Amino acid sequence: MSTFSTLRRLGCAAGLLLGLTTAQAQAQAQAQAQAQDHASHHAPAAAASSPAPAAAADPALTEGVITRVDARSGKLTIRHGAITHLDMPPMTMVFGLQDAQQAAQFKPGDQVRFRVEDQAGTLVITRIQPAS
């Protein structure tokens, strides 16, 4: 076997090894980037460690405070505690009411307990009552 053949084989092997190493490094970098991106979907540490609102009498109900009422569209903006059955951390968000006419019964600042359900991808309040 000639020196040229030996060098050529070594060059091919080195090129293959370099290519595999590069592909592995790229896959690891992509996996780390995805893990960091998904970490942003969880509640901030401050919200996760903050004390939960007083336990509701009915564990199926979540406690919250109404911050905005849109009686015309039947929607309420609520700053709420964790919604455990939906694996949702505490936050403020807009919910539609199953019975839109109920919106007129509430005002900003009202403390409520409510049940929300995922209906075909839309979060809808199916039950709501004053917290007291």
Q: How confident is the model at residue 53 (pLDDT cuts 50, 70, 90)?
A: very low
Tokens 């040229």 sit at which residue? 4
- pLDDT higher at 16 or 52: 16
CATH class of 45-130: mainly beta
As a whole number, mean pLDDT of residues 12-40 equals 55
pLDDT of residue 45: 43
**100 Cβ contact list (under 8 Å, min separation 6):** 73, 74
Distance, CA of 61 to CA of 83 (rounded, Å): 8
How far is residue 77 CA from its own chain's centroid?
17
Contact between 66 and 107 under an 8 Å Cβ cutoff? The reply is yes
Tens-place pLDDT, residues 62-95: 999 999 999 999 999 999 999 999 999 999 999 9
For 85, phi then psi, to 5°, come to -70, -15
